[in-house]
Chains A and B, each alone.
Chain A
């Protein structure tokens, strides 16, 4: 059935070795510690979690910016886990990345045209109708004036720069786009423009997105399915409607309840679950369930035994010994 999925991750791990100061031993940071995840064709999978949960590392490992420590990455039915740089090239054009910071991810000395054209040069492709025509079409498609092809990134606003980043990613007609916090650096009124653009492009081009973000409101809006990560592990996966209406993992529940809702009356009536403490360091994760140190339902079993993700219904997977009862928002 792998042909249904554009991307499959099986037991993916990415560990970083970090040297301590003054030669104080090496530590291993388990940024991603064994995750299973699929992205269907034309699907948007949202990957959420707080800083240090490993969501960005997942995105970068999928792109093979990082070499995975363990596990398998299957892209479009092909195992790309161990492909070398040169062999990856053929697949790189089919998977592209959009970055968080539209200010630092575009070379300030290159014009918009050069930035997009680089994709064609690197992959030695000649789009139908020639490069300059293709570039102009791309700019138009992402809502920029095609006449601005000779301008430099600093001449654009943050939102427009993010559009340039999207145009660059689209140049090689990818199948999968890994979007790493694509709207979190943008102003509120601009965020909606970019989110809508990503929506439209998906409909027109049949793209699949792996949408990495910390903002649950945006993820809820754009995703078909949502994956909640905490300290390198998956806590819960469900379709968006299911996850937001019926969160079963205590962490998901706390996360949802922490998101402020721009509605004062609802806010006044809301019961908040306020987690105590901070995220533990991924270099030294708690034994057993990684969430056990902050969970209000913690029991002995949680500390001794790590829960494994179990599919509890066709559209819901959960890693918790003592989940919240179903049917509660």
Chain B
């Protein structure tokens, strides 16, 4: 059984004057309908790049893309990386949709929200302009915009940030897509609005049985909604596992460090935060060896300075839990004092 989306060895690079930026390097993941995959990373980790490639949104004249991303459609699988651009375009907005971080700049300021939603609908449906606007009002109502019928003719700037993101979601879902890619959908929003939007995405996912890819830097958001997590660092996936495995049995020092470095509202007391020293790597001319090695506290635990000479493979450490590290699960649990069996 293959999943709805299967990404295999997807690499995206951009040539620049300073050298080749390997923004996404040999990335593989999959997500099924009804499932939420979170892709976590800091800025410059390449977490959005592979998904923009799936959507076909990179400038074909600049981006160098290799690998494959198969959508298992009812009438046979399609590799959206190698398929003709025109074919991929006919999948956008219909089979796969995407919403973005900043809902203000992502909506056209000169067109009413109804107009913009109707435009997406009429691409794949026959119907008059009035049908489109009626469908838009229906969608606005579905995503929880009060008195949707009166608001279809309003312009994006007349909505608040949270309402704009709802408009974006309505537009993305107007043709019942099977895959929704949400790129930092709540980062620009206030925290009380964030929880509204996350709840909405979860409800709609259930209703339409969608596959959801959530791109985020916020591990709290991940814990709230994800089923499976890919952690990215330096353009590569360093860990890929189920949600509980990532949070309680992480097999990668970066994930462990990240979890330790964030303050939590539920943990009182002014303990000192355990910061990860150093800076994230540049994606140009990555050094040999593990990209995280310069910041890793466990480098000395690996024999023969392997970490700085050789890049570890993304290996299955325990059942369905992949990590890119030379350390074995027993070593990790001794070093972090975690009990691999706990929780």
A: residues with CB less than 8 A from B are: 50-51, 157, 159-160, 187-193, 195-196, 199, 214, 216-218, 220-221, 240-241, 244-245, 254-267, 272, 274-279
CB within 8 Å for A195 and B273 given contacts A189-B257, A261-B223, A263-B247:
yes
Closest CB-CB distance, B103 to chain A, in whole Å? 13
Closest CB-CB distance, A162 to chain B, in whole Å? 12
Task: Decide if A214 touches B191 in the complex (CB within 8 Å).
Answer: yes
CB within 8 Å for A217 and B263 given contacts A189-B276, A267-B224:
yes
Cα-based distance from A33 to B146 in the complex (angstroms)? 29
Contact segment of B14-22, B148-156, B214-222, B328-336: B214-222
Task: Decide if B268 touches A218 in the complex (CB within 8 Å).
Answer: no
Residues of B205-246 at the interface with A, using a CB-CB cut-off of 8 Å, are: 217-224, 226, 243-244
CB nearest to A195 among chain B residues: B273
Contact of A192 among B160, B198, B265, B273 (CB under 8 A): B273
Asked if B95 is an interface residue, CB under 8 A from chain A, the answer is no
Cα-based distance from A259 to B219 in the complex (angstroms)? 11
Contacts of A220 in B (CB 8 A): 263, 265, 268
Contact of A254 among B43, B192, B199 (CB under 8 A): B192
Cα-based distance from A218 to B265 in the complex (angstroms)? 8
Asked if B75 is an interface residue, CB under 8 A from chain A, the answer is no
Cα-based distance from A257 to B192 in the complex (angstroms)? 9
Contacts of B277 in A (CB 8 A): 193
Contacts of B194 in A (CB 8 A): 258, 260
CB nearest to B186 among chain A residues: A260
Asked if B195 is an interface residue, CB under 8 A from chain A, the answer is yes
B248-279 interface bits toward A, Cβ cutoff 8 Å, 1 = contact, 0 = none: 10000000011101111110101011111101
Contact of B218 among A214, A245, A255, A260 (CB under 8 A): A260
Cα-based distance from A183 to B248 in the complex (angstroms)? 27
Closest CB-CB distance, A102 to chain B, in whole Å? 13
Asked if B196 is an interface residue, CB under 8 A from chain A, the answer is yes
Contact of A264 among B42, B217, B247, B274 (CB under 8 A): B247
CB within 8 Å for A216 and B262 given contacts A275-B196, A278-B162:
no
Task: Decide if A259 touches B265 in the complex (CB within 8 Å).
Answer: yes
Task: Decide if B263 touches A50 in the complex (CB within 8 Å).
Answer: no
11 of the cross-chain contacts (CB-CB < 8 Å) are A51-B161, A191-B262, A193-B275, A193-B276, A256-B265, A258-B194, A262-B219, A262-B264, A263-B223, A264-B247, A272-B199
Contacts of B273 in A (CB 8 A): 192, 195-196, 221
Task: Decide if B268 touches A278 in the complex (CB within 8 Å).
Answer: no
Cα-based distance from A155 to B43 in the complex (angstroms)? 17
Closest CB-CB distance, B80 to chain A, in whole Å? 30
CB within 8 Å for A272 and B262 given contacts A187-B42, A195-B273, A244-B268:
no
CB nearest to A241 among chain B residues: B268
Cα-based distance from A51 to B264 in the complex (angstroms)? 21
Asked if B49 is an interface residue, CB under 8 A from chain A, the answer is no
Asked if B193 is an interface residue, CB under 8 A from chain A, the answer is yes
B: residues with CB less than 8 A from A are: 42-43, 146, 160-163, 190-196, 198-199, 217-224, 226, 243-244, 247-248, 257-259, 261-266, 268, 270, 272-277, 279-280, 343
In order of increasing CB-CB distance, the 9 nearest A-B pairs are A260-B220, A221-B263, A192-B275, A50-B190, A262-B219, A192-B261, A187-B42, A192-B273, A278-B160
Contacts of B221 in A (CB 8 A): 260
Cα-based distance from A113 to B213 in the complex (angstroms)? 45
Task: Decide if A196 touches B272 in the complex (CB within 8 Å).
Answer: yes
Cα-based distance from A192 to B271 in the complex (angstroms)? 12
Given contacts A258-B191, A265-B244, 20 further A-B contacts (CB under 8 A): A51-B161, A159-B279, A188-B42, A188-B261, A189-B42, A192-B273, A214-B191, A216-B191, A217-B263, A220-B263, A220-B268, A221-B263, A256-B265, A260-B198, A263-B247, A263-B264, A264-B223, A274-B196, A275-B192, A278-B163
Contacts of A255 in B (CB 8 A): 191-192
Cα-based distance from A257 to B265 in the complex (angstroms)? 9
Cα-based distance from A193 to B226 in the complex (angstroms)? 27
Task: Decide if A188 touches B223 in the complex (CB within 8 Å).
Answer: no
Task: Decide if B192 touches A258 in the complex (CB within 8 Å).
Answer: yes
Task: Decide if B279 touches A278 in the complex (CB within 8 Å).
Answer: no
CB within 8 Å for A278 and B193 given contacts A192-B275, A196-B273, A265-B244:
yes
Contacts of A218 in B (CB 8 A): 263
CB nearest to B233 among chain A residues: A189
Interface centre among A157, A259, A275 (most CB of B within 10 A): A259
CB within 8 Å for A50 and B192 given contacts A187-B43, A279-B160:
yes
Contact of A261 among B42, B193, B220, B275 (CB under 8 A): B220
CB nearest to B263 among chain A residues: A221
Contacts of A159 in B (CB 8 A): 279
Cα-based distance from A191 to B276 in the complex (angstroms)? 10
CB nearest to A52 among chain B residues: B190
Contacts of B195 in A (CB 8 A): 257-258, 260, 272, 274
Contact of A262 among B160, B247, B276, B343 (CB under 8 A): B247
Contacts of A272 in B (CB 8 A): 195, 199
Contacts of B280 in A (CB 8 A): 157, 187, 189
Contacts of A191 in B (CB 8 A): 261-262
Cα-based distance from A139 to B220 in the complex (angstroms)? 34
Interface centre among A188, A217, A258, A260 (most CB of B within 10 A): A260
Contact of B217 among A187, A214, A277 (CB under 8 A): A187
Cα-based distance from A276 to B195 in the complex (angstroms)? 10
Closest CB-CB distance, A99 to chain B, in whole Å? 19
Task: Decide if A189 touches B261 in the complex (CB within 8 Å).
Answer: yes
Closest CB-CB distance, A280 to chain B, in whole Å? 10
Closest CB-CB distance, A290 to chain B, in whole Å? 14
Cα-based distance from A256 to B244 in the complex (angstroms)? 23
Cα-based distance from A51 to B221 in the complex (angstroms)? 19
Cα-based distance from A272 to B194 in the complex (angstroms)? 12
Cα-based distance from A276 to B197 in the complex (angstroms)? 11
Contact of A265 among B198, B262, B343 (CB under 8 A): B343
Contacts of B162 in A (CB 8 A): 278
